Amino acid sequence: MALFYALLFALVFLIRYSAGQLKIGFYSETCPEAESIVSSVVQDAVVSDPNLAAVLLRLHFHDCFVEGCDGSILIENGPNAEKHAFGHQGVGGFEVIEKAKARSEDACPGVVSCADIVALAARDAIALSNGPSYQVPTGRRDGEVSNVTLADDMPDVSDSIQQLKTKFLHNGLSEKDLVLLSGMLSLSLSLFLMHLL
């Protein structure tokens, strides 16, 4: 039950943090198969490697914590790319997003944003981990800036509690958000380690 509440809270955080001109079914006319394409790719990936569910959720968290949920963590611009920031060490799942993006481009060229694919992949990863199923408002625009320095304020395991509070507050999150998200990320890591044993 604690896992359910942690995942549900993560969902609320991620949707709230990426709010804007988003709506359920944003692609219903321009690319009706967008969500099913992402779901199919994520399901294949998680069946192949169950650890990818936690990896995809973590990828979404890291993307949203820096400049909002804009897919900027995916932008490759050499060694200065955001994905190479110290705070993003160990973040993975990029190949799953790239595969979903390639399939969506085949079906609907230039329509589905990478930022939405990351959000949808996290949703599907949660559902595949026996978490809640939920709808994701879509319509995010992809970021155009990716710079390693933008991720300087990522929470780090060596941060003091005061540093963590400040980083979360800077992103509009409360101390309660800090506790719940930290617990959720710790639980994800524990589940990942259990799969390795």
**Which residues participate in catalysis according to the annotation?**
62
Annotated binding site: 63, 66, 68, 70, 72, 82, 155
Give the span between the Cα atoms of 159 and 84, in whole angstroms: 19
* Overall size of the chain counted in residues: 197
Feature table: binding site for substrate: 155
User: Residues annotated as binding site for Ca(2+)?
Assistant: 63, 66, 68, 70, 72, 82
Residue 114 corresponds to which amino acid?
C
For the four alpha carbons of 31, 33, 36 and 40, in that order, the dihedral sign comes to negative
Q: Report the distance separating Cα 180 and Cα 77, nearest Å.
A: 33
DSSP-derived secondary structure letter, 141: P
Q: In whole angstroms, give the CA distance from residue 105 to residue 117.
A: 12
Tell me how crowded residue 171 is: count the other CB atoms within 10 A of its CB: 16
